[in-house]
Amino acid sequence: MTETQSLPALYSHMIECGIIDLHPWFLLQGEAQMRRAQHIDEVLPGWGIIPFARRTDDDDVACWTGSKVVVIDDWDVWPDENGMPIRRVGREYASMEEWFLAAARDFIEFDWS
């Protein structure tokens, strides 16, 4: 997928090291990543974000904006007064590294029972 070229090197390094499942986060790759990107472009056109990870316990998806990571729920989209979709960000991280550390904390704290 050409979009992976636009993602920070940490994304590729995680895949190379086999760090793709930090339950509840799971890295998106290949067809799954492409389908999620198409869905986001349909419901939130023109945003230009690249999804790279999703949570398995809800609809959150982590997306690269080109300079930071935003976590959105791309299935919970509401229109503004003009009928345009509102771009709601649940969480925001200044870098891919910051998101990765938060994902590692989620992995440690997740209720496995």
- Model's pTM, two decimal places? 0.89
**Torsions phi, psi for 42 (to 5 deg):** -70, -45
> How much is the pLDDT for 62?
98
Distance CA 5, CA 98 (A): 20
> How much is the pLDDT for 35?
96
Sequential pLDDT tens for the chain (113 residues)? 445 559 999 999 999 999 999 999 999 999 999 999 999 999 999 999 999 999 999 999 999 999 999 999 999 888 888 888 888 899 999 999 999 999 999 999 987 76
**Residues 52-79 as b or e (16 or more Cβ within 10 Å = b):** bbbbeeeebbbbbeeeebbbbebeeeee
Stretch (H or E) spanning 61: strand 60-64
> How much is the pLDDT for 82?
87
